[in-house]
């Protein structure tokens, strides 16, 4: 049986919100004095939602708001590089095939830099003047000799390329022939690749940094016995220690950055 309905109209309390009106995610779009919903747009589909007494709301581009500009400025400032940030100092070690001496130099120098807590301040790589071994790991004999000293060599052989003369701050040649080949490549590439005119000044001999040894070149151990690899590592450890001291002395910003 249907419940009895009288003819008396039941009023909702003034504070109640009509259940048939849509809610917005933000409560401030509901009037605090009335239960009427104030839309952000003029409804044509639902004319009953119009409120002629409410102020009109015009859609506008939020970027034109005065409050928007400080937000943009703050966002740009947070994404801009700090004035104190410096580009990592880049060092490239080069030998003939990039499987013995230069990957060992890369590994030794990387190890010294890491122990000083400066690995984030340096970009370290190695290359060869020929591409015979491109894509190969370094000589297993050199990797074994380095590992005995606690140094891991993980580099993959690659030939020197034109961009190296722009990307690196120092290019260290293992012997005089390597240096000549590097400089010849620079002369051949500098015009067509728009390289810095003074990039040849970046090329130096590795042994010019030695303090404990009198050798002027790092000998190629490829055709020798195990002792040759040990000798190379002795020279490289000497030169790399001095090399780092020299770089830090000439670039004080590396410590302060």
Residue pLDDT, tens place only, 9-34: 444 444 444 444 343 334 343 334 44
- Catalytic site residue 101? yes
Question: What are the structure tokens assigned to 227, written together?
Answer: 């002792």
Residue 84 domain flag: no
The answer to whether the CB of 121 falls within 8 A of the CB of 254 is yes
Q: Compute the CA torsion angle 121, 152, 216, 174 (nearest 10 deg).
A: -80
Can you give the CATH number for the domain in which 228 is found?
Answer: 3.40.50.2300
- Catalytic site residue 161? no
Q: What is the number of structural domains in the chain?
A: 1
- Catalytic site residue 220? yes
Residue 239 domain flag: yes
Residue listed under structure tokens 């810095």 = 196
- Among residues 100, 101, 207, 210, which one is catalytic? 101
pLDDT tens column, 63-99? 555 554 544 444 444 444 454 568 999 999 999 999 9
- Among residues 111, 125, 139, 220, which one is catalytic? 220
């Amino acid at each position: 049986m249907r419940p009895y309905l009288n003819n008396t109209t039941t009023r909702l309390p003034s504070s109640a919100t009509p259940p048939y009106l849509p809610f917005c995610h933000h409560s401030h779009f509901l009037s605090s004095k009335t239960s009427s919903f104030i839309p952000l747009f003029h409804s044509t589909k639902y004319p009953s939602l119009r409120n002629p007494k409410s102020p009109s709301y015009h859609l506008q581009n939020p970027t034109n708001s005065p409050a928007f500009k400080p937000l943009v400025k703050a966002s740009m400032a947070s994404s801009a590089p700090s004035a104190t940030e410096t580009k990592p100092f880049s060092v490239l070690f080069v030998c003939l095939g990039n499987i013995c001496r230069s990957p060992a130099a890369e590994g030794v120098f990387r190890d010294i830099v890491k122990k000083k807590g400066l690995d984030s301040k340096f970009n370290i790589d190695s290359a060869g003047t020929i591409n015979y071994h491109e894509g190969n790991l370094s000589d297993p004999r050199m990797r074994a000799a380095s590992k005995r000293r606690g140094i891991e060599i993980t580099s993959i052989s690659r030939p020197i390329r034109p961009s190296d003369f722009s990307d690196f701050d120092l290019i260290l040649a293992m012997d005089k022939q390597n240096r000549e080949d590097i400089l010849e490549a620079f002369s051949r590439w500098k015009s067509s690749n728009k390289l810095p005119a003074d990039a040849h000044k970046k090329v130096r001999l590795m042994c010019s940094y030695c303090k404990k040894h009198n050798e002027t070149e790092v000998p190629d151990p490829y055709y020798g016995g195990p002792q040759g690899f040990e000798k190379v590592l002795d020279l490289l450890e000497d030169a790399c220690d001095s090399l780092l001291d020299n770089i830090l002395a000439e670039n004080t910003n590396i410590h302060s950055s």
